[in-house]
Amino acid sequence: KVKLYGKVVRYKEYLLKANLIGDVPSLLQILDGFEQETKSLHEGVVLQKEAILKKLAVAIEGGNFKSITEEIKLMNEEWKSISAADYIRNDKLWKQFEALKNDFFEKKKAHFANQEKDYINNLDYKMELVDTAKRWALSDNWKEATVFFNSCIEEWKKIGPTMYEKNEALWTELMQLKTDFFNRKKDNYAKIEQEQNNNLQLKLALIDQAVAIQHETNWNETTQKMQDLTEEWKKIGRVPNEKSDEIWAAFSAAKDVFFAAKRAHFDSLKISLEDNLAKKEALVSRALQLKDSTNWRTTTDEFLELMDAWKQIGPAPRQRNEELWEQFINAKKTFFERKDEDRERRKK
């Protein structure tokens, strides 16, 4: 009926101008009804097409290019299924429809041109990430390499998409590098664990040696042995963390037993040396008093007594001991030289 509008108008125009016989007013009335009906239908067509234009405008503002393209196809089919309105408005609506579509496809074209550039840039970034992963996969800097591989997935996501086939190939390579690294790390930790267990056995053996000599009283020799054991301990290397404090405490305890006994011994020895020093000083003082005596027999006996006493006293601090000994011997020598001189004099 919409398409008959032009024919109705034409026939009405014809009836108004033609020379006719008959009930022309009735026929014109019928044609007026047709004209009003077709005009009304035209308005409905205009409203339908305007609705499609609005829907297209809204669709273009949101959604992604793929879904909008599908919607435009459906709108095209819908537009085609609707009859044409009057020429002027129909042409105007069609131009608006085409303009909206063209604007969309220009944006789509520009978008995919930019997207292609982005894909190429993203491909470069992802290739750089994989190259970096290759270096870290061979690294023995386990801590920093672990941080890198734990963060590389998020870094990959931040880069954005690229060409599907290349993206999949790079992703597979990155995941393989990550797997290879963590396998190496696992093997290394297993090796370290074995080494630390071996070190533990070596250090336990040193503890046994330290315990075996902790009660020795050969102070100099045992001190050297303890020092040697400590140096050997330092050279061995690390043990499992959970055992480290425990075995060091055991090793230190054995050394502490020995060195505590050594300190106690030398503290006691120091007291003894000081006591012996006092005794020898008293002997020297008495010898100095006797060196000029003329009571030969009594003094001789006392010097012999002093000599025996000196021998029985034991050691004193070395430097002072030597000084006292020299004074004691000189005093004794002086007396006995005087005694010999007196004997020679009396013989003469």
| 80-90: pLDDT as tens digits | 887 776 667 77
DSSP state letters, 120-148:
HHHHHHHHHHHHHHHHHHT-S-HHHHHHH
The pLDDT-based confidence of 93 (bands split at 50, 70, 90) is confident
Q: What percent of the chain has pLDDT over 70?
A: 96
**Helical segments of the chain, H only:** 5-17, 24-61, 65-81, 87-137, 142-159, 164-213, 219-236, 241-290, 296-313, 318-347
The pLDDT value given to residue 63: 62
Instruction: Judge whether 130 and 173 are in contact, CB under 8 Å.
Output: yes
Identify which has the larger pLDDT, 202 or 314. Answer: 202
The pLDDT-based confidence of 186 (bands split at 50, 70, 90) is very high
Over range 306-320, report the average pLDDT: 89
Nearest alpha carbon to residue 129 among 160, 170, 100, 162: 170
Residue 76 has pLDDT above 80, yes or no: yes
281-290 CB burial, b ≥16 within 10 A, e <16: eebbebbeeb
Q: Please enumerate in sequence order all residues whose Cβ is within 8 A of that of 333, keeping only pairs 6 or more positions apart, or say none.
A: none
Residue 40 has pLDDT above 70, yes or no: yes
Indicate the DSSP class of residue 150: H
The pLDDT-based confidence of 228 (bands split at 50, 70, 90) is very high
Tens digit of pLDDT for each residue in 148-169? 999 988 898 888 888 888 889 9
Over range 105-115, report the average pLDDT: 71
The pLDDT-based confidence of 50 (bands split at 50, 70, 90) is confident
Residue 310 has pLDDT above 80, yes or no: yes
The pLDDT-based confidence of 113 (bands split at 50, 70, 90) is low
The pLDDT value given to residue 328: 92
The pLDDT value given to residue 115: 66
Q: Please enumerate in sequence order all residues whose Cβ is within 8 A of that of 159, keeping only pairs 6 or more positions apart, or say none.
A: 122, 125, 126, 129
Q: Work out the mean pLDDT of the chain and round it to a whole number.
A: 87
